[in-house]
Amino acid sequence: MKKKIAIIGSGIAGLTIANLFKKNSNFQVTVYEREKTLSLEEGYGIQLSPNSISVLNKIGFFNIDNNHFFNPSKLNFYSIHNNKICDLNLDRFNTDTVKYTTLKRFTLIEFLKDALFVNNIRFGKEVGKVSKIKEKLLINFTDNTNDLVDFIIVSDGVFSRTKSIIENKTVKPHYNGSIAIRTVIKSSEDFNYESENVSLIMLPKAHIVIYPINKKNEINLICIVRQKSFQNKDTYSIIKKEILSQNKSLENLFKGHLDSWPIYTTRKPSKSIYENVFYLGDAFYTFIPTIAQGASQSIEGANELFNLLSKDTKEIQNLYLKKD
Ligand SMILES: Cc1cc2nc3c(=O)[nH]c(=O)nc-3n(C[C@H](O)[C@H](O)[C@H](O)COP(=O)(O)OP(=O)(O)OC[C@H]3O[C@@H](n4cnc5c(N)ncnc54)[C@H](O)[C@@H]3O)c2cc1C
C-alpha cells in the first residue's frame, strides 16, 4: 500500500519535496497550504547554488525558458565608495548542465507548482491538532476536516505555527537585529556595477547585494541593514541615514518601489516528539539572508529527506539530524 505523506506549507521547501515524491509510486503526497492561493507575488530574487540546481534538474528545471533566469559568473566585492576589492569566480562551481543561478522567487514557485497535479495541493488548510494513532498520525485541520497519514513534513516557514502545535510548546524565531530592503532596478548606462554579475557593496552597518534575475535587464537589489528594533519607520529614511549619508552616489539604486521586512532566524534544529514528523526549509533551520542560501538549503534538504524516506531506513530522524 502507498505511504501517505502530508506536507504542511507550499513554499520552496514543501513544493520541492512534493515534486520529488510525485515521481515515486510508493508514496501519495498532499500539500496543505494555509493561504487560499499560492503566493505568486513577483517577489524578491533568489540565488541558487549549483547543488540545488542539480536537485531541481531531477524534476525538469533544465526545461525552463532561459530568458527567465541568469547565470552570473562572478561575485564582485566593492567598498563603500564603489572601489572593487576582489572577486570570486562562480564559474568554478559550475558544470555544463548545473550552474549558479539567479531568478525571481516567483519563477521558481510557478515552475514547482506547474509540475504538480491540481489535487496534490489543498488550499485554505491549517493544522489544528496532531495525534498518534498506532503507527500513523491523525491531522485535524481547523476547518474540521482530517487526514490519517504515515508521515508529516512541516515546511510552513520561519514562524512555523505547526511546529508549536505538534511539539505542544511555543516555538518562536528571534529577531536577528537587521531588516531587509528590496527593490528591482533596470540596468542602464548610469549603473556602476557589472549587470551580468553579482555585486556586493559593503558598508559599516549594512550591505547591498545586486544581481540580474532574468535576461530582461531586471536587477534585484537586497539591502540588509542593522537595526536594533523593527518599527514601521519610513524605509527611505533608513536608506538615507545608513547608506546615502556615506555614499550619495548610491541614490540611483533606491529610486524604485522599496519593500522592507524584519529578519527572523530560528535556533538549532531539533527532533520532533514523533518519529514520523520532519521539519524542512525555514521551519527546520533558517539561514540568515547574508549567506543567501536559505532557498538552496530548502531544496537540498528536501532532496536529503526524500532519499531517506524513500529508502525506508530505520533511524531516519537520527540520520536526518546527523552532522556530516
Ligand atoms: C531578504 C531575504 C533574501 C533572501 N535571499 C535568498 C537568496 O538569495 N538565496 C536563497 O537561497 N535564499 C534566500 N533567502 C531565503 C529563502 O527565501 C528562504 O529560506 C526560503 O524561501 C524558505 O522556504 P520555505 O519553503 O521553508 O518557507 P516559506 O517560503 O516561508 O514558505 C512557507 C509556506 O507555508 C505556508 N504556511 C505558513 N503557515 C502555515 C500553516 N500554519 N499551515 C499551512 N501552511 C502555512 C506559507 O503561506 C508559505 O506558502 C532570502 C530570505 C530573505 C528574508
The pLDDT tens digits for 267-323 are 888 899 999 999 999 999 998 777 778 999 999 999 999 999 998 777 898 899 887
Can you tell me whether residue 47 is helix, strand or coil?
strand
Question: Domains (ranges, CATH) in the chain?
Answer: 3-36+123-173+266-321 (3.50.50.60), 52-104+174-265 (3.30.9.30)
Write b or e for each residue in 30-56: b if 16 or more Cβ atoms lie within 10 A of its Cβ, otherwise e.
Answer: bbbbbeeebeeeebbbbbbbbebbbbb
One-letter amino acid at 206 equals A
Q: Is 89 in the pocket of ligand 1 (CB under 6 A)?
A: no
Distance (Å, whole) CA 86 – CA 200: 10
Alpha carbon separation from 7 to 155, 206, 214 (Å, rounded): 7, 36, 30
Q: 3-state DSSP: the chain helix, strand, coil percent, rounded to 5?
A: 30, 30, 40
Q: Which residues of the chain have a pLDDT value below 70? A: 40-43, 189, 232, 324
Three cell numbers written together for 228: 536594533
**pLDDT given for residue 44 in this prediction:** 82
Residue pair 254/142 in contact (Cβ under 8 Å)? The answer is no
- Establish whether residue 34 lines the binding site of ligand 1, counting it when its CB lies within 6 angstroms of any ligand atom: yes
**Which uninterrupted H or E stretch holds 220?**
strand 218-226
| CA 81 to ligand 1 center in whole angstroms | 33
Joined grid coordinates for residue 43:
517577489
Nearest to 236 by CA among 258, 253, 209: 258
Distance 161 CA to ligand 1 centre (A): 14
Distance 133 CA to ligand 1 centre (A): 31
Task: State in Å, rounded, how far the first CA of the chain is from the last one.
Answer: 33
Ligand 1 neighbourhood includes 161 CB (under 6 angstroms): yes
User: How many angstroms separate the CA atoms of 67 and 121, rounded?
Assistant: 28
Ligand 1 atom 19 nearest Cα: 294
Task: State if residue 196 touches ligand 1 by the CB under 6 angstroms criterion.
Answer: no
Specify the pLDDT at position 288. Answer: 79
Using the mean position of ligand 1's atoms as its centre, give its distance from the Cα of residue 263 in Å: 12
For ligand 1, say whether the CB of 160 is within 6 Å of any of its atoms: no
CB 26 within 8 A of CB 4: no
Residue 192's pLDDT is: 84
**What pLDDT does 43 receive?**
64
- Pocket test of ligand 1: the residue of 44, 53, 210 to mutate, having most ligand atoms within 8 Å of its CB, is 44
Q: Residue 232 has what pLDDT?
A: 65
Cβ contacts of 238 within 8 Å, gap of 6 or more: 179, 181, 225, 227, 260
Contacts of 168 (CB under 8 A, 6+ apart): 273
> Going by DSSP bridges, is the β-strand pair 174-186/218-226 parallel, antiparallel, or unpaired?
antiparallel
Q: Give the residue whose CA is nearest to atom 1 of ligand 1.
A: 180
Q: Which helix (H) or strand (E) holds 21?
A: helix 12-22
Atom index in ligand 1 nearest the CA of residue 52 equals 11
